[in-house]
Amino acid sequence: MDAMASPPEGNSLARQHLIDPEICIRCNTCEATCPIGAITHDARNYVVKFDVCNDCGACIPPCPTGAIDNWRVVPKGSAYPIEEQFEWESLPVPQAFDVSDTAALPEEVERQTAEARRGEGGLVRAPASAATPAVNLYTVSNPIQAKVTGNFRLTEAGASADVRHLVLDFGGNHFPVLEGQTIGILPPGRDVQGKSHFIRLYSVASPREGERPGYNNLALTVKRVTEDHEGRPVGGVASNYLCDLNLGDTVQVTGPYGSAFLMPNHPGSSLLMVCTGTGSAPMRAMTERRRRRIAMKEGGELMLFFGARAPAELPYFGPLKKLPTSFIDINLAFSRDPQTPRHYVQDLIRERQEKVARLLQDPDCYVYVCGLKAMEAGVLEAFQHCCERAGVEWPALRRTLLEAGRLHIETY
Ligand code: NAP
Protein backbone atom coordinates (compact mmCIF):
# COMPACT_ATOMS: atom_id res chain seq x y z
CA MET A 1 0.00 0.00 0.00
CA ASP A 2 1.26 3.49 -0.85
CA ALA A 3 2.43 5.68 1.96
CA MET A 4 -0.16 8.33 2.66
CA ALA A 5 0.74 11.75 1.34
CA SER A 6 0.08 14.75 3.53
CA PRO A 7 -1.62 17.71 1.95
CA PRO A 8 0.53 20.78 1.46
CA GLU A 9 0.77 22.76 4.66
CA GLY A 10 -2.17 25.09 5.25
CA ASN A 11 -4.05 23.37 2.47
CA SER A 12 -6.56 20.97 4.01
CA LEU A 13 -8.12 18.05 2.19
CA ALA A 14 -11.48 18.29 0.50
CA ARG A 15 -13.72 15.89 -1.36
CA GLN A 16 -14.10 16.79 -5.01
CA HIS A 17 -17.18 15.52 -6.77
CA LEU A 18 -16.37 14.27 -10.30
CA ILE A 19 -18.18 12.57 -13.18
CA ASP A 20 -16.61 9.50 -14.78
CA PRO A 21 -16.35 10.29 -18.51
CA GLU A 22 -15.88 6.60 -19.30
CA ILE A 23 -19.37 5.70 -18.09
CA CYS A 24 -21.29 8.97 -18.52
CA ILE A 25 -23.84 8.78 -21.34
CA ARG A 26 -24.30 12.58 -21.51
CA CYS A 27 -28.03 12.39 -20.75
CA ASN A 28 -28.02 15.79 -18.98
CA THR A 29 -29.95 14.41 -15.98
CA CYS A 30 -27.33 15.58 -13.47
CA GLU A 31 -27.11 19.10 -14.89
CA ALA A 32 -30.91 19.35 -14.98
CA THR A 33 -31.18 18.08 -11.40
CA CYS A 34 -28.46 20.16 -9.75
CA PRO A 35 -30.28 22.91 -7.82
CA ILE A 36 -27.30 25.29 -7.75
CA GLY A 37 -25.81 25.05 -11.24
CA ALA A 38 -22.67 23.19 -10.18
CA ILE A 39 -22.71 20.89 -13.21
CA THR A 40 -21.98 21.97 -16.75
CA HIS A 41 -20.83 20.40 -20.00
CA ASP A 42 -19.13 21.04 -23.30
CA ALA A 43 -19.54 19.07 -26.51
CA ARG A 44 -17.80 16.16 -24.86
CA ASN A 45 -17.85 15.92 -21.05
CA TYR A 46 -20.12 16.66 -18.11
CA VAL A 47 -18.14 18.20 -15.25
CA VAL A 48 -18.65 19.48 -11.70
CA LYS A 49 -17.53 22.94 -10.57
CA PHE A 50 -15.59 22.38 -7.36
CA ASP A 51 -16.19 25.92 -6.09
CA VAL A 52 -19.98 25.67 -6.57
CA CYS A 53 -20.81 22.05 -5.63
CA ASN A 54 -22.05 21.80 -2.03
CA ASP A 55 -22.31 17.98 -2.01
CA CYS A 56 -26.09 18.14 -1.64
CA GLY A 57 -26.39 14.85 -3.54
CA ALA A 58 -29.52 15.74 -5.52
CA CYS A 59 -27.81 14.55 -8.71
CA ILE A 60 -26.82 11.11 -7.38
CA PRO A 61 -30.02 9.01 -7.44
CA PRO A 62 -31.26 10.07 -10.91
CA CYS A 63 -27.99 9.27 -12.75
CA PRO A 64 -28.75 6.19 -14.84
CA THR A 65 -25.19 4.87 -14.94
CA GLY A 66 -23.50 5.77 -11.68
CA ALA A 67 -20.99 7.98 -13.55
CA ILE A 68 -21.98 10.73 -11.12
CA ASP A 69 -21.00 8.67 -8.09
CA ASN A 70 -17.31 9.56 -8.00
CA TRP A 71 -15.15 11.54 -5.67
CA ARG A 72 -11.50 12.28 -5.23
CA VAL A 73 -9.85 13.71 -2.16
CA VAL A 74 -7.69 16.66 -3.12
CA PRO A 75 -5.85 19.45 -1.35
CA LYS A 76 -8.38 22.29 -1.34
CA GLY A 77 -6.15 24.58 -3.35
CA SER A 78 -5.45 21.96 -6.02
CA ALA A 79 -8.91 20.80 -7.07
CA TYR A 80 -9.29 19.77 -10.70
CA PRO A 81 -10.57 22.80 -12.68
CA ILE A 82 -13.41 22.20 -15.14
CA GLU A 83 -11.09 23.05 -18.07
CA GLU A 84 -9.02 20.02 -17.12
CA GLN A 85 -12.12 17.83 -16.59
CA PHE A 86 -13.35 18.71 -20.10
CA GLU A 87 -10.22 17.08 -21.51
CA TRP A 88 -10.52 13.80 -19.58
CA GLU A 89 -11.21 10.47 -21.22
CA SER A 90 -11.14 8.75 -17.81
CA LEU A 91 -10.93 9.83 -14.17
CA PRO A 92 -7.50 10.64 -12.78
CA VAL A 93 -5.77 7.98 -10.73
CA PRO A 94 -6.57 8.57 -7.04
CA GLN A 95 -3.79 10.20 -5.05
CA ALA A 96 -2.38 8.30 -2.11
CA PHE A 97 -4.52 10.20 0.41
CA ASP A 98 -7.53 9.67 -1.79
CA VAL A 99 -11.12 8.53 -1.44
CA SER A 100 -10.33 5.04 -0.24
CA ASP A 101 -8.77 6.66 2.77
CA THR A 102 -11.93 8.03 4.30
CA ALA A 103 -10.18 8.24 7.65
CA ALA A 104 -8.39 11.25 6.23
CA LEU A 105 -11.72 13.02 5.91
CA PRO A 106 -13.46 14.91 8.63
CA GLU A 107 -16.44 13.05 10.06
CA GLU A 108 -18.78 15.81 9.03
CA VAL A 109 -17.90 15.37 5.36
CA GLU A 110 -18.58 11.66 5.66
CA ARG A 111 -21.91 12.33 7.32
CA GLN A 112 -22.87 14.78 4.56
CA THR A 113 -21.89 12.26 1.91
CA ALA A 114 -24.02 9.54 3.45
CA GLU A 115 -26.89 12.03 3.64
CA ALA A 116 -26.33 13.13 0.06
CA ARG A 117 -26.39 9.59 -1.22
CA ARG A 118 -29.77 9.14 0.40
CA GLY A 119 -31.28 11.50 -2.19
CA GLU A 120 -34.94 12.36 -1.92
CA GLY A 121 -36.19 8.92 -1.14
CA GLY A 122 -33.45 6.70 0.16
CA LEU A 123 -30.40 5.17 -1.37
CA VAL A 124 -31.24 3.73 -4.77
CA ARG A 125 -31.02 0.04 -4.02
CA ALA A 126 -31.73 -3.26 -5.65
CA PRO A 127 -34.52 -5.60 -4.51
CA ALA A 128 -33.27 -7.62 -1.54
CA SER A 129 -33.72 -10.88 -3.45
CA ALA A 130 -31.96 -9.68 -6.62
CA ALA A 131 -28.95 -11.67 -7.77
CA THR A 132 -25.59 -10.00 -7.23
CA PRO A 133 -24.61 -8.22 -10.43
CA ALA A 134 -21.15 -8.14 -11.94
CA VAL A 135 -20.24 -4.56 -12.80
CA ASN A 136 -17.42 -2.77 -14.63
CA LEU A 137 -15.70 -5.96 -15.76
CA TYR A 138 -14.64 -4.27 -18.98
CA THR A 139 -13.71 -0.62 -19.45
CA VAL A 140 -12.98 1.76 -22.30
CA SER A 141 -9.30 1.00 -21.98
CA ASN A 142 -9.99 -2.74 -21.65
CA PRO A 143 -13.14 -3.57 -23.63
CA ILE A 144 -14.42 -7.03 -24.53
CA GLN A 145 -15.04 -7.99 -28.13
CA ALA A 146 -18.40 -9.39 -29.24
CA LYS A 147 -19.49 -10.76 -32.59
CA VAL A 148 -22.78 -9.75 -34.22
CA THR A 149 -24.88 -12.87 -34.69
CA GLY A 150 -28.23 -11.21 -35.29
CA ASN A 151 -29.49 -7.84 -36.54
CA PHE A 152 -33.10 -7.64 -37.56
CA ARG A 153 -35.67 -4.91 -37.76
CA LEU A 154 -38.41 -4.96 -35.13
CA THR A 155 -40.56 -2.18 -36.52
CA GLU A 156 -42.66 -2.82 -39.60
CA ALA A 157 -41.52 -1.70 -43.05
CA GLY A 158 -43.73 1.40 -43.18
CA ALA A 159 -42.96 2.53 -39.61
CA SER A 160 -41.22 5.86 -39.06
CA ALA A 161 -38.66 4.35 -36.68
CA ASP A 162 -35.99 1.78 -37.51
CA VAL A 163 -35.75 -0.22 -34.26
CA ARG A 164 -33.48 -3.24 -34.34
CA HIS A 165 -32.91 -6.36 -32.31
CA LEU A 166 -29.18 -6.85 -32.21
CA VAL A 167 -27.64 -10.08 -30.92
CA LEU A 168 -24.04 -10.00 -29.67
CA ASP A 169 -22.07 -13.17 -28.97
CA PHE A 170 -19.14 -13.18 -26.55
CA GLY A 171 -17.77 -16.55 -27.62
CA GLY A 172 -15.60 -18.09 -24.95
CA ASN A 173 -15.30 -14.92 -22.88
CA HIS A 174 -17.09 -14.30 -19.61
CA PHE A 175 -19.63 -11.45 -19.78
CA PRO A 176 -22.33 -12.09 -17.16
CA VAL A 177 -25.38 -9.81 -17.15
CA LEU A 178 -28.63 -9.58 -15.26
CA GLU A 179 -31.97 -8.30 -16.53
CA GLY A 180 -32.05 -4.50 -16.08
CA GLN A 181 -28.32 -4.01 -16.52
CA THR A 182 -26.78 -1.99 -19.33
CA ILE A 183 -23.68 -2.43 -21.44
CA GLY A 184 -21.50 0.16 -23.16
CA ILE A 185 -20.80 0.22 -26.87
CA LEU A 186 -17.65 1.88 -28.17
CA PRO A 187 -18.37 3.26 -31.62
CA PRO A 188 -15.25 3.26 -33.81
CA GLY A 189 -13.82 6.48 -35.17
CA ARG A 190 -13.33 9.94 -33.76
CA ASP A 191 -15.50 12.98 -33.10
CA VAL A 192 -15.03 16.43 -34.65
CA GLN A 193 -12.42 17.24 -32.04
CA GLY A 194 -10.41 14.21 -33.12
CA LYS A 195 -11.12 12.33 -29.90
CA SER A 196 -12.43 8.78 -29.80
CA HIS A 197 -16.21 8.63 -29.44
CA PHE A 198 -17.43 8.11 -25.90
CA ILE A 199 -19.42 5.01 -25.00
CA ARG A 200 -23.17 4.77 -25.42
CA LEU A 201 -25.20 2.65 -23.03
CA TYR A 202 -27.89 0.17 -24.04
CA SER A 203 -30.10 -1.96 -21.81
CA VAL A 204 -29.78 -5.68 -22.14
CA ALA A 205 -32.98 -7.01 -23.73
CA SER A 206 -32.43 -10.69 -22.98
CA PRO A 207 -32.54 -12.65 -19.73
CA ARG A 208 -29.44 -13.58 -17.76
CA GLU A 209 -28.89 -16.93 -19.44
CA GLY A 210 -28.73 -15.22 -22.83
CA GLU A 211 -30.84 -14.64 -25.86
CA ARG A 212 -30.55 -18.32 -26.49
CA PRO A 213 -29.78 -20.50 -23.48
CA GLY A 214 -26.53 -22.35 -23.96
CA TYR A 215 -25.09 -19.59 -26.11
CA ASN A 216 -22.94 -16.86 -24.59
CA ASN A 217 -24.94 -14.01 -26.09
CA LEU A 218 -27.29 -11.14 -25.34
CA ALA A 219 -29.62 -8.85 -27.26
CA LEU A 220 -30.00 -5.07 -27.44
CA THR A 221 -32.92 -2.97 -28.66
CA VAL A 222 -31.53 -0.13 -30.76
CA LYS A 223 -33.43 2.70 -32.43
CA ARG A 224 -31.67 4.44 -35.31
CA VAL A 225 -31.42 8.05 -34.16
CA THR A 226 -32.07 10.44 -37.02
CA GLU A 227 -33.19 13.52 -35.07
CA ASP A 228 -32.55 15.08 -31.67
CA HIS A 229 -35.15 15.69 -28.95
CA GLU A 230 -36.12 18.97 -30.66
CA GLY A 231 -36.69 17.21 -33.99
CA ARG A 232 -33.54 18.59 -35.68
CA PRO A 233 -31.87 16.10 -38.03
CA VAL A 234 -28.82 14.38 -36.50
CA GLY A 235 -27.11 11.08 -37.19
CA GLY A 236 -26.77 9.19 -33.91
CA VAL A 237 -23.17 7.94 -33.90
CA ALA A 238 -23.62 4.69 -31.99
CA SER A 239 -27.19 3.85 -33.04
CA ASN A 240 -26.40 4.18 -36.76
CA TYR A 241 -23.20 2.22 -36.28
CA LEU A 242 -25.09 -0.58 -34.53
CA CYS A 243 -28.09 -0.61 -36.87
CA ASP A 244 -25.77 -0.93 -39.89
CA LEU A 245 -23.70 -3.83 -38.52
CA ASN A 246 -23.53 -7.04 -40.52
CA LEU A 247 -23.48 -10.59 -39.18
CA GLY A 248 -19.92 -11.50 -38.23
CA ASP A 249 -18.85 -7.90 -37.51
CA THR A 250 -17.14 -7.31 -34.17
CA VAL A 251 -18.07 -4.71 -31.57
CA GLN A 252 -16.13 -3.34 -28.60
CA VAL A 253 -18.20 -3.61 -25.42
CA THR A 254 -17.76 -2.24 -21.87
CA GLY A 255 -19.57 -2.95 -18.63
CA PRO A 256 -21.83 -4.43 -17.53
CA TYR A 257 -23.27 -1.53 -15.53
CA GLY A 258 -26.06 -1.13 -13.02
CA SER A 259 -26.55 -2.55 -9.56
CA ALA A 260 -30.04 -1.30 -8.62
CA PHE A 261 -32.42 -1.63 -11.60
CA LEU A 262 -32.60 -5.40 -11.10
CA MET A 263 -35.47 -7.84 -10.77
CA PRO A 264 -36.43 -9.68 -7.59
CA ASN A 265 -35.75 -13.40 -7.53
CA HIS A 266 -38.03 -14.60 -4.78
CA PRO A 267 -41.10 -16.69 -5.59
CA GLY A 268 -44.33 -14.74 -5.43
CA SER A 269 -42.73 -11.42 -6.40
CA SER A 270 -44.68 -9.32 -8.90
CA LEU A 271 -43.48 -6.83 -11.53
CA LEU A 272 -45.27 -3.61 -12.50
CA MET A 273 -43.52 -2.37 -15.65
CA VAL A 274 -44.01 0.91 -17.49
CA CYS A 275 -42.07 1.72 -20.66
CA THR A 276 -42.05 3.71 -23.88
CA GLY A 277 -40.31 2.80 -27.15
CA THR A 278 -36.91 1.21 -26.73
CA GLY A 279 -37.27 1.59 -22.97
CA SER A 280 -38.95 -1.79 -23.42
CA ALA A 281 -35.53 -3.52 -23.54
CA PRO A 282 -35.24 -4.29 -19.79
CA MET A 283 -38.94 -5.18 -19.63
CA ARG A 284 -38.43 -7.73 -22.39
CA ALA A 285 -35.50 -9.18 -20.43
CA MET A 286 -37.50 -9.48 -17.21
CA THR A 287 -40.63 -10.80 -18.95
CA GLU A 288 -38.60 -13.37 -20.84
CA ARG A 289 -36.90 -14.47 -17.61
CA ARG A 290 -40.29 -15.08 -16.04
CA ARG A 291 -41.69 -16.68 -19.21
CA ARG A 292 -38.90 -19.25 -19.27
CA ARG A 293 -39.75 -20.15 -15.67
CA ILE A 294 -43.54 -20.41 -16.09
CA ALA A 295 -43.44 -24.16 -15.53
CA MET A 296 -41.96 -23.59 -12.07
CA LYS A 297 -45.21 -21.90 -10.97
CA GLU A 298 -43.38 -19.45 -8.75
CA GLY A 299 -46.40 -17.14 -8.49
CA GLY A 300 -46.39 -13.36 -8.65
CA GLU A 301 -48.07 -11.14 -11.25
CA LEU A 302 -46.76 -9.28 -14.26
CA MET A 303 -48.42 -6.05 -15.38
CA LEU A 304 -47.06 -4.04 -18.31
CA PHE A 305 -47.86 -0.56 -19.62
CA PHE A 306 -46.13 -0.03 -22.95
CA GLY A 307 -46.31 3.16 -25.05
CA ALA A 308 -45.52 3.56 -28.73
CA ARG A 309 -46.74 5.67 -31.61
CA ALA A 310 -48.59 2.80 -33.31
CA PRO A 311 -48.58 -1.02 -33.32
CA ALA A 312 -46.14 -1.02 -36.26
CA GLU A 313 -43.69 1.04 -34.15
CA LEU A 314 -43.89 -1.10 -31.02
CA PRO A 315 -40.79 -3.27 -30.50
CA TYR A 316 -41.64 -6.93 -29.84
CA PHE A 317 -45.33 -6.33 -30.66
CA GLY A 318 -45.83 -9.77 -32.27
CA PRO A 319 -44.27 -11.89 -29.49
CA LEU A 320 -45.95 -9.77 -26.81
CA LYS A 321 -49.41 -10.37 -28.24
CA LYS A 322 -48.83 -14.10 -28.03
CA LEU A 323 -48.22 -14.13 -24.27
CA PRO A 324 -51.19 -15.50 -22.32
CA THR A 325 -53.18 -13.00 -20.24
CA SER A 326 -52.85 -15.38 -17.30
CA PHE A 327 -49.08 -14.76 -17.48
CA ILE A 328 -48.98 -11.00 -18.10
CA ASP A 329 -51.52 -8.16 -18.05
CA ILE A 330 -50.52 -6.04 -21.07
CA ASN A 331 -51.74 -2.47 -21.58
CA LEU A 332 -50.65 -0.86 -24.85
CA ALA A 333 -50.87 2.91 -25.27
CA PHE A 334 -50.72 4.18 -28.86
CA SER A 335 -50.24 7.89 -29.38
CA ARG A 336 -50.53 8.14 -33.18
CA ASP A 337 -52.61 5.16 -34.24
CA PRO A 338 -55.55 6.16 -36.45
CA GLN A 339 -57.44 3.08 -35.20
CA THR A 340 -57.39 3.99 -31.48
CA PRO A 341 -57.80 7.13 -29.34
CA ARG A 342 -54.51 8.91 -28.52
CA HIS A 343 -53.14 7.43 -25.33
CA TYR A 344 -50.00 7.72 -23.23
CA VAL A 345 -48.99 5.07 -20.68
CA GLN A 346 -50.06 7.33 -17.82
CA ASP A 347 -53.60 7.47 -19.23
CA LEU A 348 -53.85 3.69 -19.12
CA ILE A 349 -52.38 3.58 -15.60
CA ARG A 350 -55.24 5.85 -14.52
CA GLU A 351 -57.75 3.59 -16.29
CA ARG A 352 -56.37 0.60 -14.35
CA GLN A 353 -56.15 2.50 -11.06
CA GLU A 354 -57.54 -0.18 -8.77
CA LYS A 355 -55.08 -2.87 -9.79
CA VAL A 356 -52.17 -0.40 -9.96
CA ALA A 357 -52.93 0.87 -6.45
CA ARG A 358 -53.09 -2.72 -5.19
CA LEU A 359 -49.75 -3.61 -6.77
CA LEU A 360 -48.06 -0.42 -5.55
CA GLN A 361 -49.05 -1.35 -2.01
CA ASP A 362 -48.07 -5.01 -2.36
CA PRO A 363 -44.72 -5.43 -0.53
CA ASP A 364 -43.84 -8.17 -3.05
CA CYS A 365 -44.42 -5.96 -6.10
CA TYR A 366 -41.48 -4.19 -7.76
CA VAL A 367 -41.99 -1.22 -10.06
CA TYR A 368 -39.90 -0.40 -13.16
CA VAL A 369 -40.20 2.70 -15.35
CA CYS A 370 -38.00 3.01 -18.44
CA GLY A 371 -37.99 5.14 -21.56
CA LEU A 372 -38.50 8.77 -22.42
CA LYS A 373 -37.57 11.32 -19.77
CA ALA A 374 -40.76 13.20 -20.62
CA MET A 375 -43.00 10.39 -19.37
CA GLU A 376 -41.47 10.15 -15.90
CA ALA A 377 -43.43 12.99 -14.30
CA GLY A 378 -46.67 11.85 -15.93
CA VAL A 379 -46.24 8.27 -14.72
CA LEU A 380 -45.47 9.33 -11.16
CA GLU A 381 -48.51 11.65 -11.21
CA ALA A 382 -50.61 8.72 -12.42
CA PHE A 383 -49.31 6.57 -9.54
CA GLN A 384 -50.25 9.39 -7.17
CA HIS A 385 -53.72 9.54 -8.72
CA CYS A 386 -54.22 5.77 -8.27
CA CYS A 387 -53.10 5.98 -4.65
CA GLU A 388 -55.30 8.97 -3.83
CA ARG A 389 -58.34 7.15 -5.24
CA ALA A 390 -57.45 4.20 -3.02
CA GLY A 391 -57.05 6.44 0.03
CA VAL A 392 -53.29 5.87 0.16
CA GLU A 393 -50.76 8.65 0.73
CA TRP A 394 -48.43 8.54 -2.30
CA PRO A 395 -45.43 10.53 -0.95
CA ALA A 396 -45.11 8.13 2.00
CA LEU A 397 -45.63 5.06 -0.20
CA ARG A 398 -43.07 6.35 -2.73
CA ARG A 399 -40.52 6.68 0.03
CA THR A 400 -41.30 3.16 1.22
CA LEU A 401 -40.92 1.85 -2.33
CA LEU A 402 -37.54 3.52 -2.75
CA GLU A 403 -36.24 2.39 0.59
CA ALA A 404 -37.29 -1.19 -0.12
CA GLY A 405 -35.66 -1.20 -3.58
CA ARG A 406 -39.13 -1.46 -5.11
CA LEU A 407 -39.18 1.62 -7.39
CA HIS A 408 -36.75 1.84 -10.28
CA ILE A 409 -36.73 4.59 -12.86
CA GLU A 410 -34.44 4.78 -15.88
CA THR A 411 -35.46 7.57 -18.24
CA TYR A 412 -33.32 9.47 -20.75
P1 NAP B 1 -40.64 7.19 -28.97
O2 NAP B 1 -40.89 6.23 -30.06
O3 NAP B 1 -40.20 8.58 -29.30
O4 NAP B 1 -41.90 7.34 -28.03
C5 NAP B 1 -42.59 6.24 -27.52
C6 NAP B 1 -43.95 6.70 -27.09
O7 NAP B 1 -43.86 7.57 -25.96
C8 NAP B 1 -44.70 7.47 -28.17
O9 NAP B 1 -46.01 6.99 -28.23
C10 NAP B 1 -44.66 8.89 -27.66
O11 NAP B 1 -45.76 9.66 -28.09
C12 NAP B 1 -44.76 8.65 -26.17
N13 NAP B 1 -44.48 9.84 -25.38
C14 NAP B 1 -43.92 11.01 -25.76
N15 NAP B 1 -43.93 11.89 -24.75
C16 NAP B 1 -44.52 11.27 -23.71
C17 NAP B 1 -44.85 11.68 -22.37
N18 NAP B 1 -44.57 12.89 -21.92
N19 NAP B 1 -45.45 10.78 -21.58
C20 NAP B 1 -45.75 9.53 -22.01
N21 NAP B 1 -45.49 9.11 -23.27
C22 NAP B 1 -44.87 9.96 -24.10
O23 NAP B 1 -39.62 6.52 -27.97
P24 NAP B 1 -38.10 6.11 -28.26
O25 NAP B 1 -37.52 7.04 -29.26
O26 NAP B 1 -38.05 4.67 -28.51
O27 NAP B 1 -37.44 6.50 -26.89
C28 NAP B 1 -37.30 5.60 -25.85
C29 NAP B 1 -36.44 6.19 -24.76
O30 NAP B 1 -35.96 5.08 -24.00
C31 NAP B 1 -35.22 6.96 -25.26
O32 NAP B 1 -35.13 8.15 -24.51
C33 NAP B 1 -34.08 6.01 -24.93
O34 NAP B 1 -32.89 6.71 -24.66
C35 NAP B 1 -34.61 5.31 -23.73
N36 NAP B 1 -34.00 4.01 -23.40
C37 NAP B 1 -33.53 3.19 -24.36
C38 NAP B 1 -32.92 1.99 -23.98
C39 NAP B 1 -32.29 1.08 -24.96
O40 NAP B 1 -31.67 0.10 -24.52
N41 NAP B 1 -32.37 1.30 -26.24
C42 NAP B 1 -32.88 1.63 -22.63
C43 NAP B 1 -33.41 2.48 -21.69
C44 NAP B 1 -33.99 3.67 -22.08
P45 NAP B 1 -45.68 10.86 -29.18
O46 NAP B 1 -44.30 10.88 -29.76
O47 NAP B 1 -46.72 10.52 -30.19
O48 NAP B 1 -46.01 12.10 -28.40
Residue closest by Cα to atom 2 of ligand 1 = 277
Does the Cβ of 410 fall within 6 Å of ligand 1? yes
For the cut 90, the answer to whether the pLDDT of residue 204 exceeds it is: yes
Pair (216, 316) in one structural domain: no
The average pLDDT across 192-211 equals 90
Q: What is the pLDDT of residue 100?
A: 44
- Count of domains in the chain? 3
Give the rounded percent of residues in the chain with a pLDDT score beyond 90: 65
Best residue for ligand 1 mutational test, from 372, 375, 410 (most atoms within 8 Å of Cβ): 372
The predicted pLDDT at position 97 comes to 54
Q: Are residues 274 and 367 in the same domain?
A: yes
Top-ranked range on mean pLDDT: pick from 110-119, 227-236, 377-386: 377-386
Mean pLDDT check: name the lowest of 113-122, 197-206, 366-375. 113-122
Higher pLDDT, 35 or 234: 35
Ligand 1 contact, 242 CB (< 6 A): no
Statement: residue 114 has pLDDT above 80: no
Query: Average model confidence (pLDDT) for the chain?
Result: 88
- Last residue in a domain, options 211, 231, 257: 257
Give a yes or no: residue 133 inside a domain: no
Span from the CA of 61 to the centroid of ligand 1 (angstroms): 21
Output the residue whose Cα is nearest ligand 1's atom 22: 375
- Distance in Å, CA 213 to ligand 1 centroid: 30
pLDDT tens, residue by residue, 28-42: 889 988 999 999 999
Dihedral sign for Cα atoms in the order 397, 133, 85, 104: positive
Domain span holding position 250: 144-257
Is the pLDDT assigned to residue 107 strictly greater than 70?
no
Higher pLDDT among residues 231 and 350, named by residue: 350
Percent of the chain exceeding pLDDT 70 equals 90
Q: Which of 68, 89, 121 is the last residue of a domain?
A: 121
Asked if residue 59 has pLDDT above 60, the reply is: yes
Q: Quick check: CB of 309 below 6 Å from ligand 1?
A: yes
Residues 85 and 31 in one domain: yes
Regarding whether 252 and 280 lie in a shared domain, the answer is no
One domain, residues 276 and 397: yes
pLDDT for the residue 1: 36
Distance from residue 290's CA to the centre of ligand 1 (Å): 24
The reply to whether 178 and 50 lie within a common domain is: no
Domain annotation covers residue 173: yes
Closest approach atom of ligand 1 to CA 308: 9
The verdict on 95 and 177 lying in the same domain is: no
* pLDDT tens digits along 182-198: 999 999 998 888 888 88
What are the Cα distances from residue 153, in Å, to 167, 185, 389?
A: 12, 19, 41
Is residue 281 lining ligand 1, measured as CB closer than 6 Å?
A: yes
For ligand 1, say whether the CB of 371 is within 6 Å of any of its atoms: yes
Ligand 1 centroid from CA 374, angstroms: 8
Residues 304 and 399 grouped into a single domain: yes
Which pLDDT belongs to residue 76?
82
CATH number of residue 347's parent domain: 3.40.50.80
- One domain, residues 206 and 279: no
Residue 281 shares a structural domain with residue 367:
yes
- Residue 69 has what pLDDT? 84
| pLDDT at position 103 | 45
Mean pLDDT, residues 341-357 taken together: 98
CATH number at residue 214: 2.40.30.10
Residues 157-180 have pLDDT tens digits of 888 899 999 999 999 999 999 999
The reply to whether 150 and 229 lie within a common domain is: yes
Q: Is the CB–ligand 1 distance for residue 307 below 6 Å?
A: yes
Regarding the beta carbon of 198 and ligand 1, being less than 6 Å apart is answered no
Same domain? For 277 and 406 the reply is yes
342 pLDDT tier (thresholds 50, 70, 90): very high
Model pLDDT, residue 63: 79
Confidence of residue 13 (pLDDT cuts 50, 70, 90): confident
CA–centroid distance, 100 to ligand 1, in Å, is: 39
1 falls within a domain: no
What pLDDT score was predicted for residue 110? 53
Please say which residue of 236, 257, 278 terminates a domain.
257
Ligand 1 centroid vs 141 CA: distance in angstroms? 32
Domain of 67, CATH number, reads: 3.30.70.20
pLDDT tens-place string over residues 365-393: 999 999 998 999 999 999 999 999 999 99
Domain membership flag for residue 134: no
How far, in Å, from the CA of 409 to the mean position of ligand 1? 14
Could you give phi then psi for residue 8, rounded to 5 degrees? -55, 145
Which ligand 1 atom is the nearest neighbour of the CA of 203?
A: 40
Give residue 120's pLDDT.
40
Which among 164, 185, 276, 410 is the best mutation to test ligand 1's pocket, defined by most ligand atoms within 8 Å of the CB?
A: 276
- Distance (angstroms) between ligand 1 centre and the Cα of 222 equals 12
Residue 6 is predicted with a pLDDT of 52
pLDDT of residue 322 exceeding 80, the answer is yes
Residue 352 has pLDDT above 70, yes or no: yes
Whether residue 135 lies inside any domain: the answer is: no
